Amino acid sequence: MTKAEIVAQIAQKTGIEKVAIQATVEEFMNVVKESLSEGENVYLRGFGSFIIKKRAEKTGRNISKNTTIIIPAHNIPSFKPAKTFVNEVKKSVK
């Protein structure tokens, strides 16, 4: 499902204009990105959590040049679904 399909489906179910829904969805994504970039996790009860995972420094290999490189420690965004979300998805898969 694409962002446009999400906007269309919400507009159909609520009767709100697509333009307003599009702006709301865009702003929601911006708020989540800004919060994570500032080191703050986002918790949505019953849905899941957008969290920051810390990756430690590690040694990697460039196979074509046969050299080792150091990959510095860094943070990556991650999503952890809520138990109710996981259970609902498990029920729907047959």
What pLDDT, on the 0 to 100 scale, is given for residue 92? 78
pTM of the model: 0.78
Max distance between CA atoms of the chain, in angstroms, equals: 59
Which domains does the chain show, CATH number per domain?
1-40 (no CATH), 41-94 (4.10.520.10)
pLDDT tens digits, one per residue of 66-94: 899 999 999 999 999 999 999 999 987 66
Alpha carbons 92 and 82: distance in angstroms, whole number: 16
Query: What is the residue-averaged pLDDT of the chain?
Result: 94
| Banded model confidence at residue 48, pLDDT cuts 50, 70, 90 | very high
Name beta bridge partners: 30: none
Alpha carbons 18 and 21: distance in angstroms, whole number: 5
Mean predicted confidence (pLDDT) in 37-53: 95
